[in-house]
Structure formats: C-alpha cells, structure tokens
Structure 1
Amino acid sequence: MVEIYWGCLVLGVLFALVTVLLGDLVSQALDGMLDFLSADYLKPVTVAGGITAFGGAGILLEHYSGLGSVINLLLALVCAFLLAVAVHYLYVRPMRNSETSSGYSEQSLCGRIGEVLVPIPGTGYGEVLLKIGAANTNRTAGSFDKEDIQAGARVVVVQVRDGAVYVSRFENNL
C-alpha cells in the first residue's frame, strides 16, 4: 500500500511542477481537448491537491500510526477529501472571482454606458469613450436613432456592427 501512496504523492508533485513550468505550453498543445472534464468543483488544482494529500497522508499514517492498512486508507481518503475541499474554497473560488481582464468581446459592449468624445452626426460617425473593467476604450460610434449627439452626452451602446458601436442617448429618469 505504501507504494500506492508514494505513487500518488510523486504524481501530485510532478503535476504541480509541470503545471507551473509548462502549463501554458501544455494548454496550447491540448487546445481544449480535456474541456469535457471540466466541472465547477473539479478543477485540476483541486484534484491534484487531493491526490497529493492522499499520498502524503497515507505515507505518514503508515509510518507513524499503529493502525491497520484499511483504517490508514480510510483516514488518508478523508484527509485528501478535506484538503481538496479546502483548496477549492480557499484558493480556487476566490481566484476565479478575482480574475479581471482588459480583454472584451465586441458583443459585450451592448448595454454599456459611455460618453461622447467626438460629436456624432445623425448619418455619420463620431467617437465614444466606454469603460471596460478597469480600463477605458475609445470606439467609433454612429447614432442608432439617426439623430445628432453632442460631445459630452451620455450614451448607451445599442448595437455593434461593422466594427462600430451604435448608440442612443442615455436618459436616467430615476
């Protein structure tokens, strides 16, 4: 049984090293082939942490406890489960919620509120400033309602088409 524990411990440590050193290369090489394995609670860090904890706990229990192999196996499984749950709730979930990116898709601009920088004529184009996360972006803008919009006016993005956003005046009647 000790060989299985050592195998799990070594496998977990190797997984951690490969992930840290070659994670981006492996991710690009696989190009999403393993995405079907993805579940909210089943992240690679959580699984690898559980396997590593199982191996480490099993080795320690076999070496230092006077309990039988079956009891040690059950205790190692409990340790692995508890550590995997702890890793998920103390590391994976907070990190997922803290991810920010300056990247955005054009369709995610719909509904965003911005400010007109360059006046938008009814049948032409101007420019708007939109806030995306912690960053700002300037976009070519046309009037969705085919009416002139002056500089400084607040607008809402209604549509994105042909690389330009189409906006309407934003009227906050609250």
Structure 2
Amino acid sequence: MEILGISLESLYLVALIIAGAITLIYILIGDVLEGSGFLNPTLLLSFITILSGTGFLLEKFTNIQSIFILLLAVTVSLILVTILNLFVFIPLSKAEQSLVYTNDSLKGRVGKVITTIPKDGFGEVVLNGKGGTIAKSAVSFDEEEIKEGKMVLVIDVKNGVLHVSPHEVNHSFTI
C-alpha cells in the first residue's frame, strides 16, 4: 500500500529514524523540557518508536494487509508503552532518593574522631552511613579533649559544627 506515492514500509522506516533521533536529542536536553506539558515526551516518543518499528517489520516480513498491520502495531505499542510506564517510569519517578543530609539527621549518630578535638577548639569527625562518608568540624560538648581514633556521639549541630561527646561502644550482650 502507498500513501502519496510513498510505500508504508518507507513511512514506517522514516518515522522510526525520526523518532529515534528525537529520542536521542531528548536524552541530551530532556531536563530543559521536563515539566513543560501534560504529556510525558518519553512515553510519546516510545509509542512512536515502537509503532513505527513494529509496522516496518510487519510490512517487510509479512503479507498481512497494511490496515491490519497498522492496527496491530498500534495495539502492540499501546501495550508495551503501558507496561513501560507502569513498571519503569512510575517507580522511577517515585524512587527519587537524595543523598543530602540535614543537620538534624546527624544528631544521635556515632562517628570517629579523625583530628583530635581540643578542650576549647575544633577537631574533625567522620560519620559513615548509607549515603556515604561525611567529615565535619566538631567541638567537644563536655569541653574535654577527645583524642584521634575515639568514637563520639553527635549531641547537637550548630552552624554546621558537630557538638560531640565521647561514646563507648558496648559489645557485650546479656540474654
């Protein structure tokens, strides 16, 4: 079948190439376009790419009538884009996790002194966690010297400085 003197196979191939190129451009500048409309461009581009790819393959390798190929390609594309949306895009949009921490989230954490904290000065403490390692300036909450290598408990955080107290790790368990 032909439309305006061009075979459907060629139309599907051109649509596939154009949709693929636009998808590539969207990957590069997608953050600029994000949230600009109500329709997710990723879903639209996926739909067009799957539709044109399926249509091209069916036109090239089967003897099915063109109208049935178009209907089949639309159906396959709708199903695959729906699955893609439900199982990939929606979970990804809800899985936004940040490695950012707040000063309040540091309170109560245990860390290790990496630079001795003098009575009336600053030292440095490292805190390990799921999001990585955080090294912060620290002062002694009890105004006592805390030697390098000692474990400390973060009592408070003021102006980005940890106020820490020595912490004994108890490894004995009683049952």
Q: Which TM-score band applies after superposition, normalised by the shorter structure?
A: 0.5 to 0.7
Q: CA deviation at 1:106?
A: 5.6
| 1:110 paired residue number | 105
- Cα deviation, 1:87-138, whole Å, max 9, x if unaligned, reads 87479968x97x999xx54637833542222343565321101225475343
| 1:127 paired residue number | 124
Are the structure 2 counterparts of residues 128 and 18 from structure 1 closer, same or farther at C-alpha, using a change threshold of 3 Å? same
Whether the 8 Å CA contact 2:52–2:73 is kept in 1: the answer is: yes
| 2:48 paired residue number | 51
Tell me the amino acid that sits aligned with residue 76 of structure 2. C
| 1:36 paired residue number | 35
Whether the 8 Å CA contact 2:156–2:162 is kept in 1: the answer is: yes
Partner residue of 2:146 out of 143, 147, 150: 150
Whether the 8 Å CA contact 2:151–2:168 is kept in 1: the answer is: no
Q: CA deviation at 1:57?
A: 0.8
- Count of equivalent residues: 156
C-alpha separation between the residues in 1 aligned to 2:80 and 2:87?
A: 10
TM-score (norm 2): 0.57
* Structure 1, gaps ≥5 residues long: none
Tell me the amino acid that sits aligned with residue 135 of structure 2. N
| 1:72 paired residue number | 69
Partner residue of 2:161 out of 159, 164, 171: 164
TM-score (norm 1): 0.58
The higher radius of gyration belongs to: 2
Are the structure 2 counterparts of residues 126 and 18 from structure 1 closer, same or farther at C-alpha, using a change threshold of 3 Å? same
Are the structure 2 counterparts of residues 10 and 117 from structure 1 closer, same or farther at C-alpha, using a change threshold of 3 Å? same
C-alpha separation between the residues in 2 aligned to 1:88 and 1:149?
A: 56
Whether the 8 Å CA contact 2:110–2:151 is kept in 1: the answer is: no
* Structure 2, gaps ≥5 residues long: none
SS in 2 for 1:124: coil
Are the structure 2 counterparts of residues 53 and 159 from structure 1 closer, same or farther at C-alpha, using a change threshold of 3 Å? same
